[in-house]
Structure 1
Amino acid sequence: MPRRLMLVAHHERAEAEVHATAIAAWCAANDVEFWMPPIDATELALPQHGSDRPASDADAVVSLGGDGTMLRSVELLEGADVPLIGVNLGSLGYLTEVEPESMTSAFDRFALGAEEGEWHLDERMMLDVAVNGEVIGRSLNEAVVEKNQSGHTVRLLARIDGDPFTHYEADGLIVSTPTGSTAYSLSARGPIVSPQHRAILLTPVSPHMLFDRSLVLSPSEVVEIEVAGHRRADVAVDGQPGGVLEPGDVVRCSPSKATAKFVRFGAYRYHQILKSKFGLTDR
């Protein structure tokens, strides 16, 4: 039985308040400490549950929303070894699994433990992202270095394990995990990689050059991107701005020792989710 549970919720879903209240009630009935980030608690009219207590103190974190809320939950955990339960609100997501109507029964199963409750952890690799040696974040999906000015490309030098690979004239470069292969990288024509795999993907965004292919690298390799031209660039980690890069600045993406741990209550049917997302048929 978990003794401490934190809820991270989407603020703009009309049904979020009802479900958040139900989660708080389940915790009260099972003598489980419960808290939410202050902004979530205020927005969902549950201010009594708002706390600055870190997510790493929890035995489990519940993410109430979609894949974006799951990314926010992973960010709040800061690499802590805490499992995540994703409750899906809205459209079909790649990361969330539990539907609201089966939410409390899923919590009951989780409380029984992995063997008796018949659940398992789905571990996903992440990337540590640093600028000029200073860590700015950890990504579950991707780190992006892209142009700072509309109407201009940016010149970027990619290095792999310290060796120069090539200069890119492009709108940007995406360094992603297999989990992130169905996010921004996919829209830039990157490959779809099973999230059970461990790899690092390097995908150019609108390259103005003959070589326009993605690279699928070993999960142990380190990718560095240097702003090589005279124009500035922006860096973002899982969609969150990470700052403005000056010429000569270097973004380093390396495999993280931390993993994201998602609780799965059945077989994770990634390929079926992918099939549904793209409206694919059997024939």
Structure 2
Amino acid sequence: MSTFGLVLHRGRAGELARSTVEWLRARDHEVRVLDEDAAVIGDPDLGVASDELCVGTDLVLSLGGDGTMLRAVDLAAPEDVPVLGVNLGQLGYLTEVEPSGVRVALKRFLAGSYTLEERMRLEAHVVDAEGERPSTALNEVVVEKSEMGHTVRLEVALDGRPFTSYVADGLILATPTGSTAYAFSVRGPIVDPRHRAVLMAPVAAHMLFDRSIVLRPDCEVVVRVGGDRAAGVSVDGRSVARLLPGASVRCRASDRPARLVTFGERDFHAVLREKFHLGPR
């Protein structure tokens, strides 16, 4: 018997989640869902707290789009639990299978016919008057302006040495996986997600030097809010803090990568062609 955790997109995953739970339980597997997702399935007895979902779990099944995958990875990675993504969204860049292939994918997982692809994550520490608060990201950490119509001054240090001050709308610190997310929209480089690197990309920089930089994964990046305007910090799209001038974010590669279930080697170039409609013109 195996134990499965399900993370759901509540607006799209209801029917598929219910049929998947029935299929797993009919084969004597244990199924858990988050308390807030249990109502979608209609079985509150399956609900557990977020810190219990992945303890002793064999697989986390993400039913949704890329946002649901980010939430699933955030829960699973601290326990080294692999995640299998089922695409119920539009882009589905992080997901592995379509809804019609869920049962085949689960059979292959149970038979051991799969591979694990590790993806680097970022560990970010917000440091301000309230102390130090950690977060982790699969895609990116963003420090950005909090006032419309104004820029923010962000003082960057690399490995403890001052680098430069950006006057910009914000600064993106992204993983290779996140190179096709927000960093892509500011013309950052596309990096194979199996690489390990930190991408630093300014957003609408009001200065001559506005290029993205690819840093080694163990480089420690500290972003301090300078000037007299506050900034906001988001992690994989979730707002986590408001930084007053003088506060900072310290960021580097996490020791715990995401572990994604794949079936056969993932062809990154083919994914790019499909998702971005590339090919002969």
Q: TM range, normalised to the smaller chain?
A: over 0.9
Q: What residue identity is the alignment partner of 1:121?
A: L
| TM-score normalised to structure 1 length | 0.94
> Which of 14, 17, 33 is residue 17 of structure 1 equivalent to?
14
Per-residue deviation, residues 167-226 of structure 1 (Å, max 9, x unmatched): 000000000100000001111111111101110000000000000100000111111100
* Aligned twin of 1:146: 144
Instruction: Report sequence identity in percent.
Output: 50
d(CA) in 2 for partners of 1:39, 1:112: 31
SS of equivalent to 1:36: strand
d(CA) in 2 for partners of 1:262, 1:220: 22
Q: CA deviation at 1:92?
A: 3.8
Q: Report if aligned partners of 1:124, 1:259 keep a CA contact under 8 Å in 2.
A: yes
Q: Which residues of structure 2 form unaligned runs of 5+? A: none
Q: What residue identity is the alignment partner of 2:103?
A: T
Alignment of 1:1-283 (within 5 A): 3-13=2-12, 16-52=13-49, 53-77=52-76, 79-113=78-112, 117=113, 119-132=114-127, 134-283=132-281
Q: What residue identity is the alignment partner of 2:26?
A: A
Q: Report if aligned partners of 2:122, 2:253 keep a CA contact under 8 Å in 1.
A: yes
Per-residue deviation, residues 63-94 of structure 1 (Å, max 9, x unmatched): 00111100010122252210001111132411
Instruction: Tell me the number of residue pairs that the alignment of Structure 1 and Structure 2 aligns.
Output: 276
SS of equivalent to 1:79: helix
SS of equivalent to 1:248: coil
d(CA) in 2 for partners of 1:92, 1:54: 26
Q: What residue identity is the alignment partner of 1:209?
A: M
SS of equivalent to 1:247: coil
Q: CA deviation at 1:266?
A: 1.9
Larger deviation, residues 29-38 vs 210-219:
29-38
SS of equivalent to 1:56: coil
Q: CA deviation at 1:37?
A: 0.4
Larger deviation, residues 164-173 vs 19-28:
19-28
Q: What residue identity is the alignment partner of 2:199?
A: L
Q: CA deviation at 1:98?
A: 1.2
Runs of 4+ in 1 over 4 A off after TM superposition: none
| TM-score normalised to structure 2 length | 0.94
Per-residue deviation, residues 145-172 of structure 1 (Å, max 9, x unmatched): 0001000000001111111110000000
Q: Which residues of structure 1 form unaligned runs of 5+? A: none
Larger deviation, residues 128-137 vs 155-164:
128-137
Per-residue deviation, residues 19-71 of structure 1 (Å, max 9, x unmatched): 11121112212211101001111134333322223323311100001111000
